[in-house]
Amino acid sequence: MITVMKFGGTSVGSPEALQRVVKIILNEEGKKIVVVSAMSGITNFLVKGAESLPDGKTDLVKKFEQMHIDAAGQLLGAEQMGKFRKDFDIRMEKFREILEDRAASEGPYYIDNISSQGERFSSLILCHALREAGARSVALTSEDCGIYAEGRPLSGSADLKKTESMMTIKVKPYVDDGVIPVITGFYGVKSDGLPLTFGRGGSDYSAAVVANAMNADLLEIWTDVDGFMSADPRIIPDAVKIDEMNFSEAAELAYFGAKVLHPRTIEPVRIKHIPLKVRNSFKPEEPGTIIHHLRKPRDDMLRSVALKTDLSIIAINSAEIAFYPDMVARIIEKIAENEVVIYSISTSLSTVAFLVHSNDVKSILSRLNTLGPEDIDRIEVKNDVALVCAVGDNLLSKCGVSAEIFTAVKEARANVEMISEGASDVSLNFVVPMARVTDVVKILHSKYVRGG
């Protein structure tokens, strides 16, 4: 049995946390592959430091180096620390070369290269900590493994077929020999050898890519929460952990607000029917949430309610726009430039409305203004709205579900500004004013999740 174990930034964020991770890994049965994020706060430190380059280069290197040496020094004995320093100095020299390369600093993928450095050093520390504990381990970068990526800067996607071919050659022999590979998360490598990150929080996705490539039997995402919850416990104090979910439910919740998994984590393991567990590295005795293809149906109408705030609706009016799909295509292309995420789309005869993050509105409007008056009559923006994602079993096939949900919304004295229903049979998504969204979630959870 092969288990891919991914540990997030808080799980490897301190010497004490790293010690817990070592114990978790060694207690896992069967063959293991580990994927790690950068230590907590390191990626933000690197991104901020990149803004001060080249003037702040010396300070960046000094602080970065000291943070990792201090952590390793509290974990490793003298002999292992000496071996660690040899590997560490090699990677630090490569980091310095990147910072010195003025030509590279002008390239579009330079920030990808800088921001992905943290994973190269957290993986090295954990590898040597495992060796200190008596395990056989090897620290591998995405370059070493052959994790290939393609796409725009800071928003890459893995080439699953190419990655599987390369990892079978480069990583499988270690696993077959009982060695524990500790692999860098967060980024892959373009065909020209340059690093390309998978977006913030992308180490979850990296782990799913590794599980896909290695045909793993299980993917474990170790984080700082017990698993998926029936609602955000900061809003609903009596929210309960969900023991079991299917891939579709988890994907909807991850995309529309539940900050447990990176939204793209599901697809690489869903393709190969690889079960996924979300577990808490600070409470390893907790079983967490298991996500797989099939699960037993439940009587509750809803399983979870998630929300995403700070959104805006951009409504574009044009006479009989529904009869001009090429015009709609041009509008979508303009909105989606620079990887803007569109959370929902609604259309009528003369209007098409898009739900986007409020931070993107200004740039979207500037791009839409490049379209001529023959395309657009009027643009309206409604700010301060929030999306509610209600997830449950076979919502489309249950008679009266929508009526009951929107009756609850009425009880919260909220207007429904936009609806997305039918795209998924496990979720109903709708938009309400941000000032009322907490009340909506509380009522839905009380009536239909907790059985109140």
Domains of the chain (ranges, CATH numbers): 2-292 (3.40.1160.10), 304-449 (3.30.2130.10)
Task: Return the DSSP state at 448.
Answer: I
What's the Cα-to-Cα distance from 300 to each of 49, 62, 167, rounded to whole Å?
A: 49, 55, 43
Residue 353 has pLDDT above 50, yes or no: yes
Q: At what angle do helices 117-132 and 78-100 cross, to 10 degrees?
A: 170
Cβ 25 vs Cβ 54: under 8 Å: no
> Strands 276-280 and 289-292: what pairing?
antiparallel
Tokens for 150?
């393609």
pLDDT tens by residue, 155-177: 999 999 999 999 999 999 999 99
Q: What global pTM score does this model have?
A: 0.91
Tokens for 261?
């998994």
Question: How far is Cα 79 from Cα 60, in angstroms, rounded to an integer?
Answer: 28
Q: Which of 414, 362, 364, 422 is nearest to 388 (CA)?
A: 414
What's the Cα-to-Cα distance from 140 to each of 125, 134, 135, 168, 351, rounded to whole Å?
A: 12, 19, 16, 14, 51
What's the Cα-to-Cα distance from 138 to each of 11, 36, 60, 124, rounded to whole Å?
A: 19, 13, 27, 8
Question: How far is Cα 209 from Cα 206, in angstroms, rounded to an integer?
Answer: 5
Cβ 242 vs Cβ 228: under 8 Å: yes
Task: Return the DSSP state at 446.
Answer: I
Site of tokens 């991770």: 21
What integer is the mean pLDDT of 85-95? 97
pLDDT value of residue 423: 61
Task: Return the DSSP state at 445.
Answer: I
Least confident of 237-251, 281-295, 362-376: 362-376
| Cα end-to-end span (Å), the chain | 42
Q: Could you tell me what percent of the chain has a pLDDT over 90?
A: 73
pLDDT tens by residue, 396-448: 667 788 889 999 999 999 999 999 865 677 889 999 999 999 999 999 999 98
What integer is the mean pLDDT of 297-303? 76
Concatenate the DSSP letters of all residues of 139-154 into one string.
EE-HHHHT-BEEEETT
Query: Predicted confidence band at 450 (pLDDT cuts at 50, 70, 90)?
Result: low
